[in-house]
Structure 1
């Protein structure tokens, strides 16, 4: 429940709403008890054909009579003690002390009831039926007030729940943006979406229930039990003898429910993952006619989740009967014990003093009424029992990610990069996503300022990973990467990435306008600068001629309203607008047609001049732009040189650049 407590702590940021919710809950609890209390007056006053002023006056007369009786007994005992030897006076002194304590209690009751009697004589009706009318009016007014406070309390608890959900979503989103890319390799989009939606909603609903029923209903129980204890706390303890056993059983169910809910949330994440994977790969599913296979996989995962939810339903169904059985034991115990005391006019039960005076029918009715009044809130609590356990499990699942620290962090005292960037150097760099599977092994590489370097290699050789170390998407497992002689781990990530532009093969555009997607490279860019960057990337023509709204056209989720080549040119325009000191092109021309490639080749030739550029490509036309080419294989650099040098001596380079095919075609 620790993490659920952290969710509740978020709600405490909204103190006025919390205070309003608590006040409404307290008012409802007081009015709940107040509506049951008149049962005492109905049974012991109205049903005995009395009015409240008459009943209070008779009570005062009876107390005064008993005071007089006690005075007579005290006088007799004091007279007796004078003639009793000193050795035998202990028992008499004990009786005298008890009588004095009883007299003092009766005198206090008389004093307390005097102002009540004056009020009753002046304002309350003097006939039984009119007294009944006042009691009924009391109940009606109390019920209306209680309903009004319940409405207000429901509003404020809902407000708290929604505020908690808002804060959790913001915190989760902020934390997710801070996580390193390594975390996203370990966590699927489906799992993130499940935490972001289901976990946040369930945790906030649990918090809402805490400030609603979880606080309000126990207040009702406490109020009812307090009045029952006022009638006879000894009788209350006897009747509640079965409560600890019920509490133990419910505690066991609570633990089982929390475990089952935690596993259910994990299985729901798998369902989200399956949906995300299927919808994202729908073209492949249909192309290979694998709909039945996907249905089967989805059925298995859905069935697992169904089985888990049915186990939760079983545990949840046991809670209400457990409390009901305990409640029946309590009511039966109260009926037997109370009935014996009232019907036989007794003050003792099993040798235990239950009351100073025999309980009246009204007091016993009040006692039963308060037990019934306490049982209904307990029943309501069982209805949200699973919700609380679900909220606790969701909080654990949510904070599992919120508490995760990113592997790539900024230094406490970062160094500053010079205005003119110097050499990039990879010094004995090794890296592995998984310790058992190294991706880079002892890579040493120097890149001079303004140099255009191309990296070629087979898929999985580590070339993209090598490039990902430069913007500090990852840190080396061993070795170091330096820029201008400064280890990248000594730089602030934002300071470093502000100087780098990236265009990848998997072009991602946001569901916004063309202009805003280009402006993503420089948030302060003017419209003229955006258009100029688009023209450099040869995107301006298709934007104006093929898109209805030009630069204000929406590109769709992921840019799905544009072709692959169009998306690539928008991404290149975004990098050009950034005007970075270092440009990284990861297969940036892979989705561009021959004519666009020719045009963009001219742009890159001009844009990369005097700018440190790192390219991953196998296209000979793009490789011609490089002043030096590095060949990688199995996480190592196996050769480096110019295009002409490598074409003459490196068989791997010839295969990767398809030079043999080009020569055969010639």
Structure 2
């Protein structure tokens, strides 16, 4: 054997070991449901026994007819009814029990994956599309369902049927049974070869489903951009390509499955053919009666269907294993590191000392040697060109990104010494890209830990954020549903709701990332007044492109290429005639033209 062959053999063995380790890990979810699992096993055992009794019943019928013993007809008539009732009862108990186990396993697995997604760091979401993650929670989980329910159901029901029929065949004639069993190794070889192929194709199919979800999701969410800029043809072509790739991979899987089944059936037919030929030998027949011989051939014929179904289990299991691997990848991802042991009860000064930051997996420093102090209760504004590092700097305060160099202090203590929960409970955030959930306006204002807020408190926050100006015109007022991500509202209305949410939260630290970018000039003036009231007494970090919104800030920080190049008050920076002064002159000229 060459080194290449040894390497391939070693890789195949490792892949098989990993596959069964994954399946065993999946079956761990069944352990708490062992009692229901045992009931399903008993149900399928009854079903399998009913199949073997059917062959025995046929033997009795043939022998009775041959002996002209028609007095047995009452017993035989009652027996066939009993056998079918027994099989039906066993099948129902087994099917219902295993389905219950499967759905419970999937429920637990799906909720675990979702709960894990809620805890993963922002860097994980930077490297995985929403379409890919949604495919894991929908398509991949259903594939696991098949592996846990359908595969085990077939394994139990058909496996016990084969065991019952095989036992009966041994009872009738062990020599003929051994001849039939001789095809077993060949069947096992075919199944093993098909398994590797199906597992590989299943992984490709699951990835292609993620690509389909991603392409569709982006086109649906951005339908306005698609239509305005004539992107329909490009999006149509992109979706057709990913869908075509999915079809091709699926058809390759169908070819493998479709070839696997007839090959197995051919091997079983060869065994039956040899069985029938050798059964005519007197020394093999032995003392078998006519009824026994007919029953033996019937049992051998009946065993072909469960054997074929058992070989189909392989494809189901392989798809489930590939799906489970993708889910376990998410479950094995390290969650946000919360090394903090102390609770942040009071927010004092916040200070950045010689802070640097680069995103995981990159060498480029997004922030370099940041030295900045946010005095308690004061407002610090960040200005600069897009890509200068403003949003990245703000994201470090709630620790959406970790791994900085230098120091980030609160009350003179390292930020990472405080627990994430206590840190974030002291922060309110209004993003440029407002996130609203498919609920009512009131539910979006009183979101999360504020869900128990009184309606009067919600209305007060809505009034302060000028939400009531448009809510009063809605048929259901503050209880009007906003649609997915607030699609039924304008950009400015969504932003006001986000500001009302921050007002209701009443946290000592406030981060405003382009909080008024979606507002018209008149609305912005109203909101600015509300924000000034909210910002009073709070440590506020404001990111803004419109300099008019931050002229009253206590400290204005100008950033460029991840560095602070200027800082001071509005008047101080204008006197310096530097970068801020140029920004101000430029925006003043633009405003004059408008």
Length-normalised TM-score, structure 1: 0.82
In structure 2, the residue matched to 1:293 is: 234
Mapping 1:476-487, distance limit 5 Å = 476-487=403-414
**What is the aligned counterpart of 1:39 among 58, 63, 77?**
58
The offset of 1:366, in angstroms, is 3.4
The offset of 1:620, in angstroms, is 2.3
2:398 counterpart of 1:379? no
Q: Could you give the per-residue CA deviations for residues 166-185 of structure 1, whole angstroms, max 9, x where no partner exists?
A: 22221121111111121111
**What is the aligned counterpart of 1:239 among 155, 163, 180?**
180
d(CA) in 1 for partners of 2:441, 2:402: 33
The offset of 1:250, in angstroms, is 1.2
2:383 counterpart of 1:452? no
2:448 counterpart of 1:507? no
Q: Confirm or deny: 8 A CA contact 1:431 1:478 kept in the other structure.
A: no
In structure 1, the residue matched to 2:13 is: none
The offset of 1:503, in angstroms, is 0.5
In structure 2, the residue matched to 1:527 is: 455
The offset of 1:661, in angstroms, is 4.1
In structure 1, the residue matched to 2:8 is: none
Q: Confirm or deny: 8 A CA contact 1:432 1:477 kept in the other structure.
A: no
Q: Confirm or deny: 8 A CA contact 1:250 1:322 kept in the other structure.
A: no
Mapping 1:458-497, distance limit 5 Å = 458-497=385-424
d(CA) in 2 for partners of 1:561, 1:663: 32
Instruction: Report the number of matched residues.
Output: 573
Q: Could you give the per-residue CA deviations for residues 267-286 of structure 1, whole angstroms, max 9, x where no partner exists?
A: 11111111011111111111
Mapping 1:227-266, distance limit 5 Å = 227-266=168-207
Q: Confirm or deny: 8 A CA contact 2:432 2:515 kept in the other structure.
A: yes
Q: Confirm or deny: 8 A CA contact 1:278 1:294 kept in the other structure.
A: yes
Q: Could you give the per-residue CA deviations for residues 9-45 of structure 1, whole angstroms, max 9, x where no partner exists?
A: 22332334323211211110111111111333344x3
Q: Could you give the per-residue CA deviations for residues 27-69 of structure 1, whole angstroms, max 9, x where no partner exists?
A: 10111111111333344x324416xxxxxxxxxxxxxxxxxxx
Q: Confirm or deny: 8 A CA contact 1:429 1:476 kept in the other structure.
A: no
Cα distance 1:646–1:476, how it changes in 2: closer, same or farther (>3 A)?
Answer: farther
The offset of 1:233, in angstroms, is 3.1
Return 556-565 or 229-238, whichever deviates more. 229-238
2:201 counterpart of 1:273? no
Cα distance 1:563–1:48, how it changes in 2: closer, same or farther (>3 A)?
Answer: closer
Cα distance 1:170–1:463, how it changes in 2: closer, same or farther (>3 A)?
Answer: same
Mapping 1:164-179, distance limit 5 Å = 164-179=105-120
d(CA) in 2 for partners of 1:295, 1:601: 43
Q: Confirm or deny: 8 A CA contact 1:458 1:656 kept in the other structure.
A: no
d(CA) in 1 for partners of 2:590, 2:128: 46
In structure 1, the residue matched to 2:14 is: none
Q: Tell me the SS of whatever aligns to 2:50.
A: helix
2:29 counterpart of 1:10? yes
In structure 2, the residue matched to 1:617 is: 544
Cα distance 1:459–1:243, how it changes in 2: closer, same or farther (>3 A)?
Answer: same
Q: Confirm or deny: 8 A CA contact 1:431 1:440 kept in the other structure.
A: yes
The offset of 1:266, in angstroms, is 0.3
2:154 counterpart of 1:154? no
In structure 2, the residue matched to 1:20 is: 39
Q: Which has the larger radius of gyration?
A: 1
2:485 counterpart of 1:566? no
Q: Tell me the SS of whatever aligns to 2:352.
A: strand
d(CA) in 2 for partners of 1:177, 1:433: 19
The offset of 1:328, in angstroms, is 1.0
2:338 counterpart of 1:410? yes
Residue ranges of structure 2 left out of the alignment (5+ in a row): 1-18
The offset of 1:161, in angstroms, is 2.6
2:471 counterpart of 1:543? yes
Q: Confirm or deny: 8 A CA contact 2:446 2:504 kept in the other structure.
A: yes
**What is the aligned counterpart of 2:273 among 328, 332, 350?**
332
2:163 counterpart of 1:163? no
d(CA) in 1 for partners of 2:590, 2:26: 67
d(CA) in 1 for partners of 2:458, 2:587: 42
d(CA) in 1 for partners of 2:289, 2:502: 89
Mapping 1:414-453, distance limit 5 Å = 414-453=341-380
Instruction: Say what the alpha-carbon RMSD is for the aligned residues.
Output: 2.1
The offset of 1:305, in angstroms, is 1.1
The offset of 1:368, in angstroms, is 2.2
2:78 counterpart of 1:137? yes
2:49 counterpart of 1:30? yes
The offset of 1:629, in angstroms, is 0.9
Length-normalised TM-score, structure 2: 0.92
Q: Confirm or deny: 8 A CA contact 2:380 2:556 kept in the other structure.
A: yes
Q: Confirm or deny: 8 A CA contact 2:338 2:420 kept in the other structure.
A: yes
